Structure 1
Amino acid sequence: MFVDVLIIGTGIAGVRAALEVDPKLRVVMVTKDQVSVSNSSWAQGGIAGVLDPSDEFSNHAEDTITAGAGLCDEDVVKAVVESAPKCIRELAAYGANFDKIDGHIALTTEGGHSHPRVAHALGDATGKELMRALIDSIRGASGTEIWEKTFTIDLLTYDGECRGALMWNSYHGKTFVWAKQTIVATGGAGRLYRETTNPDIATADGHALAYRAGAELRDMEMMQFHPTVLYIAGSSRHLISEAVRGEGGHLVDVAGYRFMGDYDDRLELAPRDIVSRAITDQMEKTRHPCVYLDLTHLDPNMIANRFPNISEMCREFGLDLAKDRIPVRPGAHYMVGGLTVDLNGKTTLPRLWAAGEVTSSGLHGANRLASNSLLEGLFFGINAGLGASEAALQIPDNFEAPPVLSGSTFMENQDSLNLTDLLNSLGAIMWRNVGIRRDETGLAAAATQVDFWERYVSLREFQSVEGWELQNMLLVARLIIESARARKESRGVHYRSDYPESDDSFQGHVSIVSQQ
């Protein structure tokens, strides 16, 4: 089938892009799950923007650049930060209900921010409310079709350009969707790691699709680890928002000692990379599998009103957020590296655009500032949607489908592989060797193991989503490891114990392009 604009992903970047496409154009937006399932919907903390008269754009920019540890593009930072108030007002116009105090949007402080500038909704379920409003809006847009439960197997390329994608769903099987312009907004890669805040859908699909198609990726070694993930042995991991510390929560070890003062003057509100490493160090010092969030000194009514969802989640495990110390430890949270894009969301592959967590836009540098991710998704979603729309309008409707050449080598029944065992093994080695602390010995061992798995998995022609996801995850794991080995220094979220200091000779991007 033929469409004008194909959008892969239905998080905040993908949906916001769709809303910018000219209504005269035919738009298809696909997601491998339901439209409401995305990392964006799971976002708790909020969206950062200068809304307080005592704050300034320069403050937000400086905080972003400081967190980014020398890899931010200052022009990108300036553009995104200055767009934030408008982006937030537009969300309200789409029907998002932000929390308010005395009629004004309520603002809180999170790690790395010098001023209160994080707007939130439903207390601690900001992403859920923002996505509700945006999805309601896109469902009313006449030019957009939404395909749920549809997996993107590969991008289609011809003459060095992206021409759409090969899709699969249980209703139609495999389908070629030829598109004048394609936008990738598939989110992150947290499921590569055993400990993660991400939902099961975060399997690095967009990174893998784009790499195989020939687009440039960069800074793939930069995976951000959130410091505070609820740690209950045997249970799923649940994020405890940065805002909990922003409202005054303390981090203490098993002995009750508040330890962040030993690591950073900003205490619990230091940037995430610093807090995550501090927690890891403290767990090793105390030989205990976690540390604890302590809110017992705060007003119980404030806790209940500000964090209703986190409070309810804790109650499910017999914990009272206001009375008990909450066991936490870090987990993979946000993929900072990704597709190289310019300010308009253009990738290095013609006719391919990208927005959101799947990209490396220059905003985050080597470490993302808290609550800048939803903002980035909005800014680049808008720009990619506008750019793809304008480009599609310039292409005539009589373009033909190019010939299809398959790169598969053979087909083998996937029953010969235990996919669950492979996924668990991959998550374990990535967490152990390519996690918060890295060194050449561990990275080399991970590279050997992942290369072995990839050799016998990549050639199989799977017939299921689980198999395609595994192929994508192994590919991206290899790219992360290669990039981590190439960056022989510590910078931002990338910490190497064998190169513990930053090195000015590495103050640049690690870029990767497929040689096939």
Structure 2
Amino acid sequence: MSMAERIQDYDAIILGTGAAGLAAAVGLPSHWRVALVSKGQPDAGSTAWAQGGMSAAVDAGDSIDAHVRDTLEAGAGLGDEMAIRRVAEAAPKMAQWLGELGVAFTRDARNELHLTQEGGHRHRRVLHVADATGRAIQDSLDKAVRAQAERHWLTNHIAVDLITSRRQGLPGDNRVLGVYVLNQQSGQVETLRSPRVLLATGGANKVYLYTSNPEGNTGDGIAMAWRVGCRVANLEFMQFHPTCLFHPDARSFLISEAVRGEGGQLLLPDGDRFMPRFHPQAELAPRDVVARAIDHEMKRLGLEHVLLDISHQPADQVRRQFPTIHERLMKLGIDMTREAIPVVPAAHYTCGGVITDLAGRTDLPGLYAAGETAHTGLHGANRMASNSLLECLVMGRAAAEDMSEIELPPARESLRAWDESRVTDSDEEIVVKHNWLELRRFMWDYVGIVRSEKRLRRAAARAELLRSEIQAYYAGFRITPDLVELRNLSEVANLVIRCAQRRRESRGLHYNLDWPDTLPPERARDTVLVPPNWPGREQLPQWPSFTVHSLPAQSGSESA
């Protein structure tokens, strides 16, 4: 393939094919030529793994105000009320839209929506499809996107870096012009040209040794946006899911929070229920509280895990509500209807990310971000359960709406194709594997659930050394998928550590032994990191306000 043949033109490029990316793809004009880029198969991301559900105030006894209050409280004083209200107000519309796309939310005997309750929620407001909600949403969105003719799926392609006018040496204001992507089948880097790029690449939880996430969550979008001058915020708030299965053959299998919502209790090996000692809501406390409580008990008693027990509930009910979890556990020799499940905390969700407004716009014109990659202010210092799928849908739709309406000049500039004429194939692949393991291990040891100034200093020193080594390796050798991901992980690790060092208090998901107290509300601030190449707010365009338009119904479909 020649250099010219490797440049492909699109009206929009979407990096990531989970809920945020697919929701955006559905919302873009049908005649637009849109590239959907995924590292592996389109369903390999976090969305398809999501078990619990999507929060929405649809019950008669619930309200938008209550949803907002619960989210603000879970966010430990850092949630943006405007962002939270916009997302909460859109939630019932999203539920209706998903129903029209074919998502069959679980219903009760009266054919009414069956709502579960999860940590941080004071009402039952979590819509679900048994315990495989993410899979149902992923499949329905995928089907809707494939019904549109001009949607081009680039599977097994990994984004390497964003293309901007400044990096290309072009005159005028800096803006996004496209993306370099590595075709993992051919081994060649291809140039995708477009004036609109959406980062829907998920979080950065693979920066930790133990995580509930798929392999691809390596912070790619956050790292790429930072490198082109976009600010990031609140990356110290990495959420650890309290209940990941402890088993040698299933290290990343999540035990849904809904198990606790339906009466599951956390126990010590002697049967002692410990959560009431830590929070009035016990097992339904916010995730940061539950994760720290488990971590405390494990360290206090020298345990490898604690136990999650729902065996006191009727067996038929447990099997009916958690068929996927029950089936997986049975294959591993654990019958959750008769015995407790061994669980440990694991890195689960990135609450901070690339700063965007409520239309998904970043600091770089033409570049958008949505879902776990972005920071909108929705989650604050701790994400409330089942607000993540909701955010992906609302912000993916919002980004698509803004992309469709805003006037952007087409990316017609003559772009430089990827140049690998001065690099060679690596003869030391072991370096990548070694650095990958070292980075994830010191992040787990020093920047995990409980931190200290000494631990953070150690992590910062090691992160900087690794970044230098990885950058030298990146500059000298032909890139591989592992190297691309390692480069991004090292960038994000550095950002997480820098954010954690700046916060001189303990709040939400960030707990520092040297700063155990929480600052008063009037001193609550986001942690914002500004890259050296950030243009300054005075040079940024004024983004229009965000609105949720009514969603079109599809003929022949049933509403939720």
Match of 1:214 in 2: 229
CA drift of 1:279 comes to: 0.6
Mapping of residues 173-184 of structure 1, within 5 Å: 173-184=188-199
Q: Is this contact kept in 1: 2:193–2:411, CA < 8 A?
A: no
Q: CA-to-partner distance for each residue in 1:169-224, whole Å, 9 max, x for gaps?
A: 12472111110111100001111111110010111111111111111111111100
3-state SS of 1:353 partner? strand
Structure 2 match to 1:444? 457
What is the one-letter code of the residue matched to 1:70? G
Identify the residue that residue 110 of structure 1 maps to in structure 2. Answer: 118
Deviation at 1:420, TM superposition (A): 2.6
State the partner residue of 2:386: 371
Q: Which runs of 5+ in 2 are unaligned?
A: 1-7, 167-173, 534-560
Q: Output aligned runs, 1:467-482, within 5 Å.
A: 467-482=483-498
> Are 2:21 and 1:11 equivalent residues in the alignment?
no
Q: Does 1:509 align with 2:509?
A: no
* C-alpha spacing 1:76/1:493, structure 2 compared with 1 (3 Å): same
2:152 counterpart of 1:145: yes
Structure-2 residue corresponding to 1:66: 73
**Could you say what the CA RMSD is over the residues aligned between the two structures, in angstroms?**
1.7
Which stretch has the larger CA shift, 235-244 or 165-174?
A: 165-174
Separation in structure 2 between the aligned mates of residue 147 and residue 398 of structure 1, nearest angstrom: 20
Looking at structure 2, the residues matched to 417 and 471 of structure 1 have their Cα atoms a distance apart, in angstroms, of: 15
Return the match for 1:53 from 46, 50, 60. Answer: 60
CA contact (8 A) 1:408 1:459 kept: no
Please show how residues 135-284 of structure 1 align to structure 2 within 5 Å: 135-159=142-166, 160-169=174-183, 170-171=185-186, 173-233=188-248, 235-284=250-299
TM-score (norm 1): 0.96
Aligned residues: 513
Cα separation, partners in 2 of 1:398 and 1:129, compared to 1, 3 Å: closer
Q: 2:413 aligns with which of 384, 397, 400?
A: 400
Whole-Å Cα distance in 2 between the matches of residues 396 and 490 of structure 1?
45
- Identity percentage of aligned residues: 37
Residue 480 of structure 2: aligned partner: 464
Partner of 1:152, secondary structure, is strand
Aligned residue type for 2:442:
I
Distance 1:475 1:409, change over 3 A: farther
SS of the counterpart of 2:483? helix
- Partner of residue 399 from structure 2, selected from 350, 375, 384: 384
Give secondary structure in 1 for the equivalent of 2:472: coil
Contact 1:178/1:401 (8 A) holds in 2: no
Q: Deviations over 1:30-79 (max 9, x none)?
A: 01110111101100000000111010111100000000011111011111
SS in 2 for 1:239: coil
- Other-structure match for 1:491: 507
CA distance in structure 2 between the aligned counterparts of 1:164 and 1:499, rounded to whole angstroms: 43
Partner of 2:201, secondary structure, is: coil
Residues 216 and 92 (structure 1), Cα distance of their counterparts in 2 relative to 1, 3 Å cut: same
CA distance in 2: counterparts of 1:320 and 1:398, whole angstroms:
57
Of 424, 442, 445, the match for 1:432: 445
The separation in 1 between residues aligned to 2:220 and 2:42, in whole angstroms, is 16
Unaligned runs of 5+ in 1: none
C-alpha distance in structure 1 between counterparts of 2:29 and 2:396, whole Å: 14
Instruction: Report Cα offsets for 1:112-165 as digits up to 9, x if no partner.
Output: 1010000001x1111001100000110111121111001100000114211110
Return the offset for 1:234. Answer: 5.9
**Residue number in structure 1 paired with 2:5:** none
Query: Which residue identity does 1:222 align to in structure 2?
Result: F
SS of 2:10's equivalent?
strand
List per-residue Cα deviations over 1:388-419 (Å, max 9, x = no partner): 1223xx34558323457979996672625432
CA contact (8 A) 1:216 1:339 kept: yes
Give the whole-Å Cα distance in 2 for the aligned partners of 1:249 and 1:65. Answer: 25
The structural deviation recorded for 1:167 is 0.9
**Conservation of the 8 A alpha-carbon contact between 1:412 and 1:460:** no
SS at match of 2:491: helix
Contact 1:11 / 1:40 at 8 angstroms: preserved in 2?
yes
